Amino acid sequence: MKLPRFPPALRPPGFRRLGLADVAILCLLGGVIATVVAFAHEFEAPFAQAVRIDLRFSALPRYTLYSLSRGVSALLISYLFALGFGWAAVKSRAAERLLLPLLDILQSIPVLGFLPGLVLGLVSLFPTRNVGLELAAILMIFTAQAWNLALSFYGSLKSLPVQLRDACQVAGWRPSRTFWDLEVPAAAQGLVWNGMLSMAGGWFFLMVNEAFRLGNRDYRLPGIGSYMSVALDRGDVPAMALAILAMIAMIVCVDQLLWRPLVVWVEKFRLDESGGGGPVPSSWVLEFLRRARLPRRVALFQQRVFRRARRAARPLERPFRAVGPVILRAPRRAFRDAIARKIGAGLAAVAIAAVALLGAWRLWLLIGQLGWADWGHLLASAALTFSRVMGAVVLSTAWALPAGVVIGRSPRLARALQPVIQVVASFPAPMLFPLVILLFERIGIGLGFGAVVLMVLAGQWYILFNVISAVAAIPQQLKDATAAFRLPRLARWRFLYLPAAFPALVTGWVTAAGGAWNGSIVAEYIEAGGTLRTTRGLGSLISEATTHANFPLLAGGIALMSLIVVGWNRIVWRSMMEWARARFGLVQ
């Protein structure tokens, strides 16, 4: 027997029915609007060098919200970039061939070095308002967030089952519909997880982005990073502690209010239906929100508005539909024509080559000003920093590999520690650098070795995360087998845990080394308590060149660092990764 199905009864609107959750939503909404307005105000504020930073506690919430707004704006831009990039790279083979290597390079070079150029350019575009400086800060955060998002989206699109694509095509979906209803949902999980990583990565250079010196000019934006840097300048220890606490509070709030709910929500967009093996993530915020009635009502209202709008727009639709094809006919025909397409592609290639050549020429002019002595200096510094980076990788591995194996082996431990580690890892390590260095000075360790420890702080988490997830993914049967054959503890590590973790360890090394190179720029050149401490190295060379506005040296340093990082990635890490996958990969 078929039971009659009724639509869920709709209650008449009225505020009496709204619950606690709705009140919370309204409050949150109000807070967001207030923040956006205040931030927009800040954007529009007249440009002033070295904004006075108020070190009182009462000013800190405002600063925190400013910094958060920058991070969120950058993340939104990063998402737009990722969608555009992934789409272009999947749809056009030429774009794929050009964009992928470009991204590969962009994500491995220290973008911090481009800050001076970016700031000067944007500030000269908006000389009277704060807009230029704000945009520069947002763009710098963007450069730390965008690349892995773009790669994740591209990867998801590439691995989309052909039959699903075919189904959408047979259904007659337009490309835009397929994009929003197939491609983006299928990539949603990767986009959210990578967004989480991106957000954390974006905070890394927060202090530098919000407060830095270029020559004799002092650029400063109100925010938690500049607050910290002013507190450091003045040696104000309570303010430093407050800044760190505020940062932690912000990270925890964003994690709980934004990422947790999103992670739970995107479970819905899982493509493989079987993958329910792991523990189902939960979010109290999402549970709470799901109880709210307001969103449902807003959705209903929105549907009604849309329907009205469509009805109202219908008279306009016909002329548009008639005109559209006429306008588009010529480009469409040109696009189909093989010769026209070839010419177009050729023109695009020439344009790209011209831009690249121009860039190379400008760079060459800058670098050409460097003498032999400068190059010797650069190379010697690079060798020093290189050994520090490697030292940092070794040191990080020394603690993170065993710790990762121990945590990954026990699901209980992993579940308990994962949120904690996530928050700790999101904390921008450079904010701690001055404190660590002051501590080292007490014990009598110089910056030469101290910088290695700082670079460990910058890179260690990637190794830990990767090892934990690799060990946690070891099939239970393998663990059972080692137990059944009574392998002694040492042998279990040697024959099971370490080999299984190795491919992930190499991936961790790549990112950790990248983090350490980036970190070297702020680790080898530190101002704390009003005094400057430097040690010889490529990072300090770059920082120094920035402060003294020595652009040829800056360009040379950045170019050299990019070359080393990209070359090392290509030659050493990649072959090591391939070997590790072939030899120790668990998937046969």
Partner 1 sequence: MTPGAVLLEAQHVTQRFRLPNGQVLEALRDVSLAVHENEVVALVGPSGCGKSTLLRLFAGLAHPDEGAVLYRGQRLDGVLGAAAMVFQSFALLPWLTVADNVAMGLEARGVDGAARRDAVARAINLVGLDGFEQAYPKELSGGMKQRVGFARALAVAPEILLMDEPFGALDPLTAENLRSQVVDLWRDPATGVKTLVVVTHSVEEAVFLAGRIVVFGSNPGHVREQLENPLPYPRLERSPDFEAMVDRLHAILTATLLPEPAPAAPQRLVPFPRVHVSEVTGLLDHLLTRPDGKGPVFELAEDLGVDYDRMSAVVRGAEQLGWVITPGEIVQLTQGGRDVMAMDDAARKDATRARLSKQPLFARLLAMLREEGAVEDEEVLADLTIYFPFIPVQSLFDTIIEWGRYAELLDHDADAGRLSLLGWEGAAEMRAE
Q: Which residues are at the interface with partner 1 (CB under 8 A)?
A: 2-3, 5, 161, 163-164, 166-174, 177, 181-182, 185, 268-271, 273, 582-583
> With 0-12 CB in 10 A as exposed, 13-18 as middle and 19+ as buried, what is 160?
middle
- Which is nearer to partner 1, 127 or 275 (by Cβ)? 275
- Closest distance to partner 1 from the beta carbon of 530 (Å): 56
Q: Whose Cβ is closer to partner 1: residue 5's or residue 52's?
A: 5
> What is the nearest approach in angstroms of partner 1 to the Cβ of residue 511?
26
Q: Among 572, 488, 545, which Cα is nearest to 110's?
A: 545
- Quick one: 58 or 163, whose CB is closer to partner 1? 163
**Cβ distance to partner 1 smaller for residue 270 or 479:** 270
**SS3 at position 51:** coil
Minimal distance, residue 582 CB to partner 1, in Å: 8
* Minimum CB–partner distance for residue 314 and partner 1 (Å): 12
Least CB distance to partner 1 at residue 58 (A): 46
In whole angstroms, the minimum distance from the beta carbon of 574 to partner 1 comes to: 17
| DSSP structure string for 550-574 | -HHHHHHHHHHHHHHHHHHIIIIIH
217 DSSP 8-state letter: E
DSSP assignments along 35-46, one per residue: HHHHHHHHHHSB
* In the complex, least distance from residue 346 CB atom to partner 1, rounded to whole angstroms: 23
Query: Given the complex with partner 1, which of 313 and 365 has the nearer CB atom?
Result: 313
Which is nearest to 86 in space by CA: 160, 163, 152?
Answer: 152
Whole-Å CA distances, 309 to 80, 181, 588? 26, 22, 55
**269: which DSSP letter?**
G
Cβ at position 392, least distance to partner 1 in Å: 30
Question: In terms of C-beta density within 10 A (0-12 exposed, 13-18 middle, 19 or more buried), how is residue 321 classed?
Answer: exposed
Give whichever of 105 and 160 is closer to partner 1, judged by the CB atom.
Answer: 160
CB closer to partner 1, 26 vs 300: 300
Place of tokens 């024959």: 495
Q: Contact at 8 Å (CB) between 430 and 522?
A: yes
Q: Please state the φ and ψ torsions of residue 218, each to the nearest 5 degrees.
A: -120, 110
Sign of CA dihedral 417, 423, 425, 431: negative
**String of DSSP letters for 381-414:** HHHHHHHHHHHHHHHHHHHHHHHHHHHHH-HHHH
Tell the smallest beta-carbon distance from residue 575 to partner 1 (Å). Answer: 13
| Minimum CB distance to partner 1 smaller for 171 or for 373 | 171
Taking the least distance from each CB to partner 1, the nearer of 175 and 376 is: 175
Rg of the chain on CA atoms, in Å: 27
From the list 310, 463, 479, 450, the residue with the least C-alpha distance to 401 is 463
Question: Taking a C-beta distance cutoff of 8 angstroms, is the pair 437, 232 a contact?
Answer: no
Q: Nearest approach, Cβ of 167 to partner 1 (angstroms)?
A: 4
For partner 1, the closer of residues 16 and 314 by Cβ is: 314
The residue among 160 and 406 lying less far from partner 1, judged by its C-beta, is 160
Beta strands, E only, 159-233: 211-214, 217-220
Burial label, 365 (beta-carbon count in 10 A; 0-12, 13-18, 19+): exposed
Question: Which single residue is written with the structure tokens 């050299």?
Answer: 560
Separation CA 141–CA 385 (nearest Å): 24
| Nearest approach, Cβ of residue 287 and partner 1 (Å) | 20
